[in-house]
Structure 1
Amino acid sequence: MTTSNVDASLNKSGTDMDRLRAALEAQARALGFDCIGITASGTIENAGKHFLEFIASGGHGDMNWLAAQPERRIDPRGLWQDVRSVIMLGVNYGPGQDPLAILQQRTRAAISVYAQGDDYHDLIKKRLKALARWLVATVPSEVKVFVDTAAVMEKPLAQTAGLGWQGKHTNLVSREFGSWLFLGAIYTTLELPRDDAEIDHCGSCQACLDICPTAAFPAPYKLDARRCISYLTIENKGPIPQEFRKAIGNRIYGCDDCLAACPWNKFAQEGREAKLAARDELRAPTLVELARLDDAAFRALFTKSPLKRIGRDRFLRNVLIAIGNSGDAALAEEARRLLDDSSPLVRGAAVWALAQLLSDEAFTAIKTNAIADERDESVREEWELAS
């Protein structure tokens, strides 16, 4: 990698932090980052308190990794005691069309915008590592990079670094990019010039709260993950609770409703092109084609995709819930075929889907033989509840 005259000057002196900051920002944008901000390591005390309250309430559900070693999350120095500055970076992934329009196409699958392309963890981490290498080569220092997989509270740090603020839906909102930013962090031992924290611009708006299909927000700025469709379709490993199945509609991976409702998104859509492209085959696939995926086909379709991590069984569980909500009786045959699947999770969801699509008489006729052969208690319970 060649260095500019500015870089060479910095290598010689290593003292002009303002010029380093300017060069760092230019390099970040050259690598594809849309925004950058810098904060001190000990700036998120209030966010840490809120996080501990969230864990104590059980709002994290089965995401036990969130509750593990909370001291490493509530202060960057708990993760790395030598960190002096935190460089926060964002990449715009705003969609080019209304992400909620797919919800009206009930025989097609709605996949969250962020998951329609390759896994952002891999894409963003490559850029972070490249920027970190440039920084170390320019001014000798130590660095660590993080993308949503370590004990880092990215959103509070991004707010103190001036990239945006945590909205009432608990996600970051930017005045330039709305609710559509991937975040990454570089921890460094350098004392870099800080940015001012962003203030809350939500005002009286609560569009993100009002649109939530499952009432996952008990109050503004508070999320109960156990009611969130993103949690239910991704993190939840068991059957989706009965009370949420209808509300899920055709969302088979994640949910964009609260993000898409944010009025600040209009600024993200004015001449700002998303830097991470969606794959055509994941924009609006049919439920039929997804229901027919065996394990090999599932892995092939979702190579490099975040969907791959939930595995075929949980994926088909979600697809079957969408089939049950489709209102299309022709899809009942897909659910019926999956009554013979090797996974109890899939069979149980197939039972529910059939109950939604068939007449009582037709459903009972299938149940009589199927329940007699079923040995899994959870699936037998689905049959009984669907009666």
Structure 2
Amino acid sequence: MKGLTKEQLVARALEEGFVKVGICRPDAVPEAAGRLRAYLAAGRHGQMGWMAEREGWRGSAAALWPEARSVIMLAEAYTPEGDPMAGLAQRDRGVISVYAQGKDYHDLVKRRLKRLGRWLIDQGGGEIKVFVDTAPVMEKPLAQAAGLGWQGKHTNLLGRDLGSWVFLGAIFTTLEFAPDEPEVSHCGTCTACLDICPTRAFPAPYQLDARRCISYLTIEHRGPVDTELRGCIGNRIYGCDDCLAVCPWNKFAVAAKEIGYQPKHGLPELAELARLDDTGFRDRFAGSPIKRIGRDRFVRNVLYAIGNSGLPKLAPVAAGLVEDADPAVADAARWAVARLGRSI
């Protein structure tokens, strides 16, 4: 390994901008495969078929790349400066999850991972593979095994010295480093994240039914959302931060170092967003993770927010989309008009 030490690796990772580093073996989470299997069997993944398509790799990091000897898990902070829930009271505007208010984290984290990976190869030799959320890797269980934090009752990763607002990246390597001690839960008796959920998406602590999660419904779910859940979405038009925002461990959250995560705009007006066509949508959200859901799904979300606004002045905006070419958008427009007490 050319004399490269773990201490040197950690120091370099922190220099690159990561806020915490941990290492585990690829087989450090043997129970992950069974938990994933049960989750899929219960149908809690909803329309996320990609979770089942690569179940074997997702359930075992060792199976994903058998040659790997160490998994380097890295955390990058995107902690917001203000209260991410404050915008929920501004009913004429749309609330976007904190992580999606700036540049696409996939690009920023992967760029940092690749720089660190190149340094690792130069200094220690071996081979690497880097992953940021788009590969069949269970980052959160691996991060807990590497000692970065633990999966809270909301199933997201949090740490006593990190808080909730972190992205995770992974470097698989054929080099061997001493693993860190895994972290254990420090949630105690707190149920703040479970109690705040508008749609009751947590059947039990440490369990999530994605089919009821607003993040899933506004990002992953295609087609109309069940009418029983639309009212719970409020004015959240991309993702939801409620369960993260109320976590008491955020008092120890580290500040974000990457300026790219700072919001590009203030809270956008629903009326403006509802009028976006495909070109306008792509231009507005170029370089943002929001672009991945496309105009139709996004405008569908905006119309649910309009319907939940209680503002009759927005009814004409929704009425203008009742004949939209996308069936889900047209359905959402009709629902919003009816919700606002107007006839078409």
> Where do 1:284-295 residues align within 5 Å?
284-295=267-278
Counterpart in 2 of 1:307? 290
Counterpart of 2:264 (choices 266, 280, 288) is: 280
2:41 matched to 1:56?
yes
Counterpart of 2:50 (choices 27, 43, 65) is: 65
Counterpart in 1 of 2:158? 173
- Give 1:58 shift: 0.6
- Show CA shifts across 1:47-95 (max 9, x none): 3321211111110011010011312112211110101000000100111
- Give 1:328 shift: 0.7
Q: Return the alpha-carbon distance in structure 2 between the equivalents of residues 97 and 317 of structure 1.
A: 27
- Show CA shifts across 1:291-344 (max 9, x none): 111111110010011111111011000000000001110001100111232222
> Where do 1:1-387 residues align within 5 Å?
14=1, 16=3, 20-268=5-253, 272-275=255-258, 276-281=260-265, 283-358=266-341, 362-363=342-343, 366=344
- Give 1:45 shift: 1.2
Runs of 4+ with >4 A deviation: none
Q: Return the alpha-carbon distance in structure 2 between the equivalents of residues 294 and 71 of structure 1.
A: 40
Q: Return the alpha-carbon distance in structure 1 between the equivalents of residues 160 and 307 of structure 2.
A: 39
Q: Do 1:107 and 1:328's aligned partners in 2 also have CA atoms closer than 8 Å?
A: yes
Q: Return the alpha-carbon distance in structure 2 between the equivalents of residues 188 and 324 of structure 1.
A: 50
- Show CA shifts across 1:137-184 (max 9, x none): 111101100001111010000001010000000000111121111000
Q: Return the alpha-carbon distance in structure 2 between the equivalents of residues 56 and 279 of structure 1.
A: 38
Find the residue that maps to 2:112 and give its secondary structure: helix
Q: Do 1:94 and 1:177's aligned partners in 2 also have CA atoms closer than 8 Å?
A: no
Find the residue that maps to 1:338 and give its secondary structure: coil
Find the residue that maps to 1:304 and give its secondary structure: coil
Q: Return the alpha-carbon distance in structure 2 between the equivalents of residues 284 and 163 of structure 1.
A: 32
AA in 2 matched with 1:110: V
Find the residue that maps to 1:88 and give its secondary structure: strand
For normalisation by structure 1, the TM-score amounts to 0.87
Find the residue that maps to 1:187 and give its secondary structure: strand
**Largest Rg, 1 or 2:** 1
AA in 1 matched with 2:107: D
Name the count of aligned residue pairs.
343
Q: Return the alpha-carbon distance in structure 1 between the equivalents of residues 79 and 17 of structure 2.
A: 14
- Show CA shifts across 1:247-272 (max 9, x none): 00000000001111111011116xx3
Q: Return the alpha-carbon distance in structure 2 between the equivalents of residues 52 and 96 of structure 1.
A: 38
Higher helix share goes to which structure?
1
Which sections of structure 2, spanning at least 5 residues, go unmatched? none
Q: Return the alpha-carbon distance in structure 2 between the equivalents of residues 261 and 54 of structure 1.
A: 26
- Show CA shifts across 1:101-136 (max 9, x none): 110111110000011011111110011111111000
Q: Do 1:213 and 1:247's aligned partners in 2 also have CA atoms closer than 8 Å?
A: yes
AA in 1 matched with 2:84: P
AA in 2 matched with 1:173: L
Q: Do 2:2 and 2:125's aligned partners in 1 also have CA atoms closer than 8 Å?
A: no
AA in 1 matched with 2:335: W
AA in 1 matched with 2:131: F
Counterpart in 2 of 1:380? none
AA in 2 matched with 1:72: W
Q: Return the alpha-carbon distance in structure 2 between the equivalents of residues 274 and 24 of structure 1.
A: 19
Q: Return the alpha-carbon distance in structure 1 between the equivalents of residues 158 and 276 of structure 2.
A: 37
Q: Return the alpha-carbon distance in structure 1 between the equivalents of residues 281 and 60 of structure 2.
A: 39
Find the residue that maps to 1:264 and give its secondary structure: helix
Find the residue that maps to 2:322 and give its secondary structure: helix
Q: Do 1:72 and 1:151's aligned partners in 2 also have CA atoms closer than 8 Å?
A: yes
Q: Do 1:141 and 1:190's aligned partners in 2 also have CA atoms closer than 8 Å?
A: yes
Structure showing greater relative contact order (alpha-carbon pairs closer than 8 Å, 6 or more residues apart): 2
Find the residue that maps to 1:314 and give its secondary structure: helix
Q: Return the alpha-carbon distance in structure 2 between the equivalents of residues 118 and 44 of structure 1.
A: 32
Q: Do 1:95 and 1:274's aligned partners in 2 also have CA atoms closer than 8 Å?
A: no
Q: Do 1:287 and 1:322's aligned partners in 2 also have CA atoms closer than 8 Å?
A: yes
Which sections of structure 1, spanning at least 5 residues, go unmatched? 1-13, 367-387
AA in 1 matched with 2:182: A
Find the residue that maps to 1:45 and give its secondary structure: coil
